Amino acid sequence: MIFGVPKEIPPFKDIEEYRVGLSPMGAQELILCGAKVYVESKAGIAAGFSDADYEKAGATVVYSKEEAYRRAEVVLKVRRPQQEEYSLIKEGQVIMGFIHLITARKAFLKTIAEKKVTLIGYEIMQQEDGRLPIVIPFSEMAGKLSVQIAGRLLESPGGGRGILLGGVPGIPPAEVIILGGGTLGCNAAKTFAGIGANVYVLDVDRNKLDHLACHSGNMKVTTLFATRHNIEKMMRFADVVIGAVLLRGKRAPVLVTSDMVKTMRKGSVIIDFSIDQGGCVETSKISPSGKFIYTVDGVIHFCMPNATTLVARTATHALTSSAFPYLKMITELGFEKALTDNSTIARGVYAEKGEIKKEYSP
């Protein structure tokens, strides 16, 4: 099996992409399994991986994006290909990455169909028990990262409320509302509560709320059902709102309306991690310029579709480690047999030989 690892192209003008689709460690392990790996020069440099690191691992460094694509049977991406890459995609090629087809350009869908490409979306690969094996570590990272982001945005110089998340004796801590009690929401809740913030988690799934209640121990985590009444009430006193809603392969539901945003305190913060799937807050957006931090009605919004790129080295290691068992199977069995034999990979198919599955059509 021949893998190609092109350097990622930023999705928007002002949003950089530092992650890479495969670490040198992953390349070495795949090569030991009998694969060939071609890596575009400087593909991993922003994540701290040099061309020499890849060469030492046994990979071949190539000096154009075109060569990384043209040599590969399977292209390993972090995000779906950008417009500049469409012409480089080969007939019948397999592309793996966080595809988020629901928000893809029509030109990308046309390219997939015309070139009979097979698309594997890491975000919809699903195990028998319903777990999303490659999404989980990224959700964990985003949940923990949310505290760093929120703390910085709340600071006075950027227009934030000027409050400390954990408070100090005699001064109350921040009020943090988390929409979604899955992996991201759970990690965010425990991290915020761990520094002393008051945390409220809302979800429609009683099992998730029970799980969170059992694992939050003595920390300040209150769970509520995500009814419209509860969301409206929470928004009025929130200092930080975290959007952590995930519907596998589908557009995120809008839980927070623009009218609710207007009731929030000036300088409060919304971090919408659902933005890759359209966002769960009505005022969440990515502007054509790629500006992902902006203010609406005095409320600071953070809507970065690739937020874990802020910790690119950790993210690349996490991606490689979680995807490796499936890449190893593809190497040893061939793609077609791996797709047949492994239901987790099969559930990750957005498009097979150019035919987009109906349930994922935008």
CB 309 within 8 A of CB 19: yes
Q: Is 317 a catalytic residue?
A: no
268 is written with which tokens? 């409060």
149 neighbors 304 (Cβ within 8 angstroms): no
User: Residue 248 and residue 250: Cα distance in Å, rounded?
Assistant: 6
Spot the catalytic one: 53, 276, 301, 317. Answer: 276
| Bridge-based pairing state of the strands 2-5 and 36-40 | parallel
Catalytic residue among 51, 53, 100, 272: 100
Tokens of 105: 């350009």
**Cα distance between residue 359 and residue 357, in whole Å:** 6
Task: Please name the residues in contact with 191: beta carbons below 8 A apart, sequence gap of 6 or more.
Answer: 143, 144, 146, 147
Cα torsion through 93, 98, 102, 104, rounded to 10: -60
Please state whether beta strands 198-203 and 175-179 pair in parallel, antiparallel, or not at all (unpaired).
parallel
Contact call for residues 97 and 353 (beta carbons, < 8 A)? no
| DSSP E strand boundaries for the chain | 2-5, 36-40, 60-62, 74-79, 94-98, 118-121, 175-179, 198-203, 221-225, 240-243, 269-272, 293-296, 299-302, 349-352, 355-356
Determine whether 100 is an active site residue: yes
Helices (H), ranges, 64-124: 65-70, 106-114
Active-site positions read 100, 276
